[in-house]
């Protein structure tokens, strides 16, 4: 699976998303300009010690991203509050891409208009503008992984027996 962040602005969100990507074996694609330097301590703190294990690529712009990931043109979903379809209406494939826009403005309208059929949204109640970016990524990413049987992921845990005196 591939998560694409278009011009992310908040280092803590990107760090949290990076940690989710490491925990799920997902590639992270960051499209510049970024609202922070990638070596800032905030992003490392949010990603904790996982950041060094992250499969991440940074692109100079969206054209650079598409040039280096031609499959993304045919296998991309665009997360937006403006979509007609929910993220549950989609049948995700293991190598799909899911793009999220910057925190202050989302994905530009011209990109959404060109890709209206593959725009997806997370349903919300009331007039709230949007969910936090890292929460939105986690919700949609885990749906996509679930549809693919959580392939190669650890599905069980183990409780340790405690003795009480």
Q: Is 43 annotated as a binding residue?
A: no
Q: Quote the CA–CA distance of 28 and 100 in Å, as a whole number.
A: 11
Q: Is 122 annotated as a binding residue?
A: yes
**Binding-site residue set:** 101, 122, 130
**Binding-site residue set for S-adenosyl-L-methionine:** 101, 122, 130
């Amino acid at each position: 699976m591939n998560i694409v962040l278009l011009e992310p602005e908040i280092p803590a969100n990107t760090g949290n998303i990076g940690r989710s990507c490491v925990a799920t074996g997902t590639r992270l694609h960051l499209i510049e300009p970024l609202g922070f330097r990638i070596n800032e301590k905030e992003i490392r703190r949010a990603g904790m010690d996982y950041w060094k294990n992250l499969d991440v690529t940074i692109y100079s712009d969206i054209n650079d991203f598409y040039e280096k990931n031609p499959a993304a043109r045919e296998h991309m979903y665009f997360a937006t509050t403006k979509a007609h379809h929910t993220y549950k209406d989609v049948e995700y494939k293991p190598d799909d891409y899911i793009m999220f826009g910057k925190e202050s403005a989302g994905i530009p309208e011209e990109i959404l208009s060109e890709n209206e059929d593959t725009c997806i949204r997370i349903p919300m109640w009331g007039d709230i503008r949007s969910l936090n970016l890292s929460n939105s990524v986690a919700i949609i990413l885990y749906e996509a992984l679930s549809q693919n049987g959580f392939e190669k992921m650890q599905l069980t845990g183990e409780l340790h027996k405690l003795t009480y005196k």
